[in-house]
Amino acid sequence: MKNILRTFFLIIIINVAALQSNADVRLPAIISNHMVLQQNSEVKIWGWSEPGEKIKITTGWDTTTYNAKGSHDAKWILTVKTPAAGGPYTLTINGNNKIIIEDILIGEVWVCSGQSNMEMSYSWGIKQYDNVIAHSPNQSMRFFHIPKLTASYPQDDAKGFWVVCNPEDLKTFSLAAYFFGLKLQQVLSTPVGLIEASWGGTPAEVWTPKDSVENNIILKNAADSLKESAWWPVKPSVTFNAMIYPLTNFSIAGVIWYQGEANITTALTYHQLFATMIQSWRQAWHKNFPFYFVQIAPYAGYGNNISGPLLQEAQTQTLSLPNTGMVVVSDLVDDINNIHPKDKKDVGYRLANLALAETYKKNNLPHQYPIYKNMEIEKGKIKINFSNAEKGLMRKSDTVKGFYIAGADKIFMPADAKIEGSSVIVWNKNISNPVAVRFNFTNSSMAELFNKEGLPANLFRTDDWNDINTFVNK
């Protein structure tokens, strides 16, 4: 009889505990100890609870009590005002249970996404950053690293946890993102939170909502042409659903992005796809945040000789979208036969300079790259005028290389070139009536032309010819 009663009471205790557990307020992984909240903002705090459950939140930075109530679908959300950068603070959530989130910093929060060149970390064998790793402990920088995940539908939560910057966690965190955050922190003197969501080899389609791709016949056909891989997904939206959508309630300053190599075979539709992806992210966040990206680097291993430049050109065209910016890295390649350049410090710093200038209005930092403006044809020569070269252009080798010139026959030949201020004069003695110029329009073209601030000129072509077979590399 005693055993029966003991069992009966044990069952009651277990059931009561289960009911209490089910009634507990629950939070997404992104809202946890060591997190960074966007400063001077109205940030969302959200989670799950019993329907009708009353939720109260208090913060360590003001005396306001924020109230919410569990909805019929067991969700709750409220908005909390954040002050200027500072901390550490606590945030207390009271419902049927109590949660205290500790060691919160208020600062600048950026999402860092893309494929392998964003994912690339010290653990890939980049020993040149030994000293960086050893001296990396930093209480004012925090990481949230989302593991590789896919989902057929948008998810409410993503796996991961906030950590204070330390050597062990930095070894497997994006180096480009780290150096970006480090430069921001040094210049702004504010805490920085970096959220990494990257996956090597992924095309932009997987980071774009499914409807945005499949409701556009051009993008759908391009997506259907992608080849399956054993190492990364190619179906539209699957990483957006699992690795980006769960973040969209979390307030951010902006996004940095390094991707494009996986879309070489669909380069002619990449501009439309990329712009669609950026706009869909902004719509999901309900914010027109800055989106800064890295132009893919020279790499000799692409298909035909201008596969890479066509993608780089598409990235450049995306700059027509407001509040975007691009960094050129054609001078940061140590081996054109390696698709993964090891210099991630300068990549991160260039992204940071772009953000510091455009988002934070620190205008004393070099961040604008020489870009083709227009051309003038005169007496068998073509004068190429550049924007973002007000102080003039310069070369770092004996001659200005990378220019090709063509006549009406559309046969491009190497051009002689001479710098004149913010312009370059190009010609070929065998072409008496030139009509078009291309610059650095080959897969392996390295930077040869810079503005006086030391930033490389972007590739370009003045023609819109589609027959890529007429490009002669002699």
Rounded-to-integer distance, Cα 390 and Cα 452, Å: 9
Instruction: Note the pLDDT of residue 281.
Output: 98
- pLDDT bin (cut points 50, 70, 90) of residue 248 is very high
The structural domains of the chain, with segments of one domain joined by +, span 106-358, 371-470
Contacts for 269 with CB less than 8 Å, ≥ 6 apart: 218, 219, 222
Q: According to CATH, what is the number of the domain 106-358?
A: 3.40.50.1110
Q: What is the pLDDT of residue 466?
A: 80
CA 6 to CA 278: how far, in whole Å? Answer: 61
The average confidence (pLDDT) of the chain is 94
341 has pLDDT over 70: yes
The 10s digit of each residue's pLDDT in 15-32 is 444 444 457 999 999 999
- DSSP-based three-state secondary structure for 99: strand
- Please list the residues that pair with 47 across neighbouring strands: 76
Mapping DSSP onto H, E and C, the string for 264-288 reads HHHHHHHHHHHHHHHHHHHHHHCCC
Average pLDDT over residues 368-377: 98
Half-sphere exposure of 433 (CA within 13 A, CB side): 3
Mean pLDDT of the region 277-281: 98
- Bridge partners for 405 per DSSP: 413, 437
Q: Say if residue 189's pLDDT is above 50.
A: yes
So what's the pLDDT on residue 468? 54
Task: Tell me the C-alpha distance between 232 and 239, whole Å.
Answer: 10
Which stretches of 85-148 are DSSP H helices?
Answer: 116-119, 130-134
pLDDT at position 13:
46
b/e per residue, 394-416, with b = 16+ CB within 10 A?
A: ebeeeebbbbbbbbeeeebbebe
pLDDT of 407 over the 70 cut: yes
pTM of the model: 0.94
Q: What pLDDT digit, counting tens, does each position of 63-88 carry? A: 999 999 999 999 999 999 999 999 99
pLDDT for res 364: 87
pLDDT level of residue 469 (50, 70, 90 thresholds): very low
Instruction: Give the pLDDT of residue 23.
Output: 74
Q: In 3D, which of 268, 273, 333, 260 has the Cα closest to residue 299? A: 333
Asked if 267 and 175 count as a contact pair (C-beta separation under 8 A), the reply is: no
Integer CA distances (angstroms), 71 to 48, 53, 92, 369, 447, in order? 9, 8, 20, 50, 57
Question: Kindly report the CA angle at 57 between 110 and 88, in degrees rounded to 5?
Answer: 50
pLDDT band of residue 398 (cuts 50, 70, 90) is confident
Determine the average pLDDT of the residues in 356-363.
96
Taking Cα atoms as reference points, which of 442, 451, 278, 447 lies closest to residue 366? 451
* pLDDT tier, 332 (very low <50, low <70, confident <90, very high otherwise): very high
Residue 471 DSSP one-character state: B
Quick one: average pLDDT of 134-156? 98
